[in-house]
Structure 1
Amino acid sequence: MTFALALTPDLLRLVALPVFAWVAVRDIKTRRVSSGVWIPLALLGGVLLVWDGWLARSAGGTVWTHEFLLPAVISMGFVVPIAYLFWWVGGFGGADAKALMVLAVLFPTVPRYAVGDWTLPLASPPIGAFSFTILTNAVLVGVLIPIVLAIRNAAAGRVGTVMFVGWPVSVERIPETHGRLLETESGLSRGGLDLDALRMYLRWRGRSLSDVRENPEYFRDPATLPDDPNPPTDGAITAEVRSDGGTLERDTDDDAATPPIDHDFDDPWGAVAFLEDIDHSAYGTTPEELREGLEVLASRDRVWISPGMPFLVPVFVGLVIAFTYGDLLMSLLV
């Protein structure tokens, strides 16, 4: 902000940089960010919003109307509803939406920082709603991700329709990888089994992916489902998993290692039984997607996945750009 005595609130807002750096790294590694992260930032933003409002009201004139009130209304009245809407339709994850809502409260106006002879950000947003600048910067950074993927795949000679959204990985890495399978038995697809849902299934069943790959005919039979399934967790790589492996009905038989006769089952892989047992809460996964994914992973050594880059990474990069340079979109349009 440009009015006097606004330096202290703007300095306090700098705490957002290390916090968003941390959540971006955590989102890459775990795809999980605790809701508790946002509460202190939201409270800080509320206090600073009132503080800035009091300073602007004291200054009066255009400082109150144009430099504070108008940007604050845009930030709270546009960015917050946009974040909620995109979460509601599935375009954002819960953490992404909460992050943008917090930014709307924390950065309703443009902060100013004197660094030597420079005043940051270098390019002032014409609207003045700093949270909107962060959002547009993040979207522009996010657009670059498919381009980077395509360049990486093209350099390796991998050219095709999925080169913009994924890359191939060894099946051995799947249990420790986030993303979505981009392969079906008939070829490449733009969408497939969520790997978090796969981990939920394997943990529920008490088996590893290597177990399934060693004897797919056996595990395809729903009669081999455990009598006492394990907690499926939420599919996170870092989730605590019960280590006893569960108890499989056929594991107690003398011929447990012998695969059953291959025939058509009513519920191959026990996909329906699994989803019904967990109230169909495996990230929207259908029995068909689960079966198709298991068939692919049981028979191939390398598969295409979409890493699904979390939006908090572009948000952090957009925040850094906003703090230093300013509004990328306006610079491109002018």
Structure 2
Amino acid sequence: MFASAPDLLRLIVLPVLGWAAWRDVETRRVPSRTWLPLVGLGLLLLAVEAVGHLSLSTSADVLFFVRVAVSLFFVAPIAYGFWWIGGFGGADAKALITIAILLPTYPTYYFAGFTLPEVVTTLGVFSMTVLTNTVLLAAAYPVAFGARNLLAGDVRFPISFLGHRIGVSALREAHGRLYETPDGFSRNGLDIDALRMYLRWRGLTLDELRASPERFRDPASVGETYDPTDGAVGVESDGGASGGDDTTGVETDGGETIETGDGDSGEVVDGDDGGAVDARDDEWAAETFLSEIEGTAYGTTPEKLRGGLEIVTEREEVWISPGIPFLVPMFVGTLAAFTYGDLVFGALGALGIV
């Protein structure tokens, strides 16, 4: 294989993305520091290549800067926008922004008798190819959900394409949101990470909660409270409550570390709206929990938390809308971009459309 030194260095993105995709499947957490070395490398390589095109003496020189501009000022903002509207997780957005910086133009790898990538778009912006490949591959998730539910006999349109049913005990290591509320199906149900945070805050296991729901519904049952962590799977709070198992202070996709103090039941504490919360009227101590922790527990409200707790204590199985590990199709899409090229462009070309 022959390639320029910058293009050879850019291959480092593949093992890093592969590791991040594995972490995304296992924990839905990727440390922010993962992307910093790649961003630094990308900026360095951009500077080196830009020097060679500064003369602007050929159309190739001008095209280089046009492609870099599209990657940095169109693809990267798209990644941020998807995160802002909730379409991407923080790690997904950071990964795509990193690719926009590291791979704005198509790399070229020469082998005996052939060259990779095989299919290069007219625009020639590699990060855009990664984005379109990723979106195309991610579209397989609803199809997979539908097929899985069809085989299991759970056919409910459109629910069967957006979630699946699991045993309540599996919530200890599940990702996503409850797809059910006391009022019916909703994709805005309780975040499962927030459920684990609540259990860790109270020092409870899910089995203990389910065994005595009436007892724990009473806010006076809250005694010593503990660090809720950020709800990640594989983390244990200082109180020993598991919804998962590891150390506290896990870094989230956004790079934030959640730390909380202890509190006691029966106190009047300040709620998120600045008003007083009388813990005696606070079922499940939901408001007390949310007022004591830092942040909002993934947008959880007291009503949403109470509804989710009712669901998991009353039922043996629940529907969930799983958090999609978007870094998996991004890794596969990037690998496909390095080898084949643009999947969408290639398909349209095979159909004679482009």
TM-score (structure 2 length as normaliser)? 0.84
Match status 1:289 vs 2:304: yes
Match status 1:22 vs 2:6: no
SS at 2:318 equivalent: strand
Bigger Cα displacement from structure 2, 324-333 vs 21-30: 324-333
Q: Please name the residue that 1:125 is paired with.
A: 121
CA offsets, 1:140-194, max 9 Å, x none? 1111211111111112221113111111111111111111111223433333110
Distance 1:310 1:34, change over 3 A: same
CA distance in 2, matches of 1:164, 1:88: 24
Gaps of 5+ in 2: 242-261, 267-279, 349-353
Q: Please name the residue that 2:319 is paired with.
A: 304
SS at 1:109 equivalent: coil
The one-letter amino acid paired with 2:119 is A
Match status 1:224 vs 2:218: no
What displacement does 1:89 show? Answer: 2.7
Matches within 5 A, 1:26-105: 26-57=23-54, 60-66=57-63, 68-105=64-101
SS at 1:303 equivalent: strand
Equivalent pair of 2:194/2:297 in contact (CA under 8 Å):
yes
Matches within 5 A, 1:166-205: 166-205=163-202
Q: Please name the residue that 1:274 is paired with.
A: 289
Distance 1:116 1:306, change over 3 A: farther
1:208 pairs with one of 200, 205, 210: 205
CA distance in 1, matches of 2:7, 2:322: 36
The one-letter amino acid paired with 1:72 is V
Equivalent pair of 1:183/1:189 in contact (CA under 8 Å):
yes
Bigger Cα displacement from structure 2, 12-21 vs 185-194: 185-194
Distance 1:249 1:101, change over 3 A: closer
What displacement does 1:238 show? Answer: 2.2
Distance 1:115 1:152, change over 3 A: farther
Aligned length: 314
Equivalent pair of 1:162/1:189 in contact (CA under 8 Å):
no
Q: Please name the residue that 2:232 is paired with.
A: 236
SS at 2:35 equivalent: helix
CA distance in 2, matches of 1:285, 1:49: 42
CA offsets, 1:16-68, max 9 Å, x none? 000000000001111111111111000010111112222334794122112x1
Q: Please name the residue that 1:134 is paired with.
A: 130
CA distance in 1, matches of 2:217, 2:35: 43
Equivalent pair of 1:110/1:130 in contact (CA under 8 Å):
yes
Equivalent pair of 1:6/1:55 in contact (CA under 8 Å):
no
Structure richer in helix, relative to its length? 1
Q: Please name the residue that 2:140 is paired with.
A: 144
CA distance in 1, matches of 2:265, 2:45: 60
CA distance in 1, matches of 2:240, 2:308: 25
The one-letter amino acid paired with 1:305 is I
CA RMSD after TM alignment: 2.1
The one-letter amino acid paired with 1:146 is P
